[in-house]
Amino acid sequence: MGVLADDMKRVVEEQQLGFVATVCPDGSPNLSPKGTLAVWDDDHLVFADICSPGTIANLAANPAMEINVVDPLARKGYRFKGTALVFGDGPDYDAGLAFYRRRGSTSAKRHIVLVKVERVAELISPAYDPGQSEAAISAKWRTYWEELWERRPEKKP
């Protein structure tokens, strides 16, 4: 059995957005959203570099990274810590492009980043501390997001 449990895979595949933390050469953190995050297999996550030169440069110098994925309704998610391999050409790059094509993605990809997940920790909102159920928390945040959507000036009918 791999590192990634079924619920971890579900959250990643449902959200498709992860926040990737890398380390800059001066030791400061760099946080970048990745809308191409997906499950590669039982031990790896993957994302595409569409326009992330800072992330790629940081990983070239130091492959250690963390990815946070959170379900904004349930206020739960996971922190995935691991090591990245960056592919800009060759068979691994081609396999990554094929992976995204099968998922319907047609955007240009400069690199494919394969992340070996070494440790995982749950992210759970303190809203659960008083004993609220996931259904109650999800209902509250669903209402919030629906009301926010209704206020958006560019929303379509």
* pLDDT tens per residue across span 68-83: 999 999 999 999 999 9
Q: Is the dihedral of CA 77, 60, 111, 30 positive or negative?
A: positive
Report the pLDDT value the prediction gives residue 3, as an integer from 0 to 100.
96
Task: Please tell me the predicted confidence (pLDDT) of residue 156.
Answer: 60
List of residues 6+ apart from 37 with CB closer than 8 A: 12, 15, 16, 17, 18, 20, 45, 46, 47, 67, 69
**Residues 20, 48 contacting (CB under 8 angstroms):** no
Contact 20, 137 (CB under 8 A): no
Q: CA-based angle 74:125:155, to the nearest 5?
A: 45
Tens of pLDDT, residues 79-110? 999 999 999 999 999 999 999 999 988 788 89
CATH dotted code for 6-124 = 2.30.110.10
Query: pLDDT, tens digit, for every residue of 18-49?
Result: 999 999 999 999 999 999 999 999 999 999 98
Mean pLDDT (the chain) is 94
Tell me the backbone φ, ψ of residue 68, rounded to 5 degrees.
Answer: -110, 130
Q: Residue 98: its pLDDT value, please?
A: 93
Q: What is residue 60's predicted lDDT score, i.e. its pLDDT?
A: 95
Q: Please check whether residue 20 is in contact with residue 59, taking contact to mean a CB–CB distance below 8 angstroms.
A: no
pLDDT of residue 155: 62
- Where do the structural domains in the chain lie, given as residue ranges? 6-124, 128-157
Structure token pair of residue 62: 């130091």
Asked if residue 128 has pLDDT above 70, the reply is yes
Helices (H), 4-155: 6-15, 53-61, 90-102, 134-151
